[in-house]
Amino acid sequence: MFARGWVLGVVGLLALGCSDDDPGVSFSKDIAPIFEGRCNICHHPTSAIGHEFTVAFDPNRGVVNRENSWFADHPSPYELIVDPGNPANSSLVGKVGDPDLDPLVDGNKMPYRIPYIEEDAPGDEPDLADVEAWILAGAKDDATFQPVAALFGTEISLRPSLSGKCTWCHYPGSPTGLSVLDVFDPDEGMVGVEASSGGILVVPGDPANSVLMRRLRGEGGARMPLQLTPLSSEEVAKIVDWIVVGAPNN
């Protein structure tokens, strides 16, 4: 369980430096940039997740005063995602600040860290060799693509066991413009499709010149799948501070 004493301790320290006239934190200046850099990549309007940090105060899609979906079906201590004035009842605080968060009780710690696709995966797990072999064989929708499809993800799902490693960001209609569920689509797919940064995502028969292979190895940009670093203690403190003063839209 999340150490609520840790939350209350942070709250006590923050209260010493805040007053009713000076909340000490601004949503637009302090909190929104954290959401933009660490949360919006998955929690945005076209996401299947249903919790949007881009519209945090929306009563139907946002996070403020929204029920924590884990609370009803699991023994989670957090009733709301953000409970104004009560960080100890806010699942957001636990998911970004608890080093011992139990995923069976409160879901995965956030930001979610998807394991990289490795050069040499153990056992029968698909890895970079499978992707390279598929491209080398002509990047066709055949048997060589099946292990690659499993690696990318075969459906949009909030359960990592079903979602592969790419569908979290690259799904139909995604802001990235790329859907790994439609690899052969001429617009949203990858085979023969130009990358936003230039080059072709998948060049049939030529893995060396396929942007996909370079990005999976971390060449020419951030390594994919994208791994976000945990929030710093200062960022967590800002979120707690914002909730303590009532989670204002200021």
Model confidence over 7-25: pLDDT tens digits? 545 444 444 444 455 557 8
Q: Quick one: angle between helices 233-244 and 4-16, nearest 10? A: 70
More confident site: 186 or 229: 186
**Domain membership flag for residue 250:** no
Least confident of 35-44, 79-88, 129-138: 35-44
**Domain membership flag for residue 37:** yes
**Domain membership flag for residue 97:** yes
Q: What is the per-residue pLDDT for 16?
A: 42
Radius of gyration of the chain measured on its C-alpha atoms: 21
**Domain membership flag for residue 119:** no
Share of the chain above pLDDT 70, in %: 83
Residues 233 and 204 in one domain: no
Residue 186 pLDDT > 70: yes
93: confidence class by pLDDT, cuts 50, 70, 90: very high
**Domain membership flag for residue 69:** yes
Residues 24 and 107 in one domain: yes
Q: Which residues constitute the domain of residue 71?
A: 4-113+229-244
Residues 41 and 109 in one domain: yes
For the segment 214-224, the average pLDDT, to the nearest whole number, is 86
- Summarised one tens digit per residue, pLDDT across range 150-164 is 888 877 654 444 567
Q: What is the per-residue pLDDT for 213?
A: 93
**Domain membership flag for residue 121:** no
Q: What is the per-residue pLDDT for 135?
A: 94
Q: What is the per-residue pLDDT for 202?
A: 96
Residue 96 pLDDT > 80: yes
**Domain membership flag for residue 71:** yes
The answer to pTM > 0.85 is no
Mean pLDDT of the chain: 81
**Domain membership flag for residue 223:** no
How many structural domains does the chain have?
2
50: confidence class by pLDDT, cuts 50, 70, 90: confident
Residues 103 and 168 in one domain: no
Residues 104 and 136 in one domain: no
For the segment 50-64, the average pLDDT, to the nearest whole number, is 88
- Summarised one tens digit per residue, pLDDT across range 121-138 is 666 555 888 899 999 999
Per residue in 205-240, is it b (16+ CB within 10 Å) or e — as a string?
A: eebeebbbbbbbeeeeeeebbbeeeebeeebbbbbb
- Give the closest residue to 38 by CA, choosing from 123, 86, 95: 95
Q: CA distances (Å), 129 to each of 114, 136, 197, 205, in order? A: 19, 10, 24, 14
- Summarised one tens digit per residue, pLDDT across range 108-119 is 788 877 777 777
